[in-house]
Amino acid sequence: MKRRGFIQSVSTTAVGLTLPGIAFGSSPENNEFTKAENVRKLFIFGGGRSKAMLSYIQKLTNKDDPKICLIPTATGDDDRSMVSWFEACEGLAIRPYVMRSFISSYTTSQSFEDTIMEMDAIMIGGGNTLNMLAIWKAQGIDLALRKAYEAGILMTGASAGSLCWFKDGTTDSRPKELSKIECLGWIQYSHCPHYDKESFRRPVYHQLIKSGELLPGYACDNDSGLLFENENLIKCVSTKKDSNSYFVELKNGVIDERELPKEIIH
Residues known to be catalytic: 159, 194
Task: Collapse the DSSP code of 115 into the 3-class scheme (helix H, G, I; strand E, B; otherwise coil) and give the result.
Answer: helix
Query: Contact 96/85 with Cβ under 8 angstroms?
Result: yes
End-to-end CA separation in angstroms for the chain:
35
Query: Contact 46/162 with Cβ under 8 angstroms?
Result: yes
Rounded-to-integer distance, Cα 106 and Cα 132, Å: 22
**Which long-range contacts link 63-67 to residues 24+ away (Cβ below 8 Å)?**
63/120, 64/93, 65/93, 65/94, 65/95, 66/93, 66/94, 66/95, 66/119, 66/120, 66/121, 67/95, 67/97, 67/118, 67/119, 67/120, 67/121
Query: Contact 123/72 with Cβ under 8 angstroms?
Result: no
Query: Contact 168/55 with Cβ under 8 angstroms?
Result: no
Bridge partners of 191, per DSSP, are: 169, 218
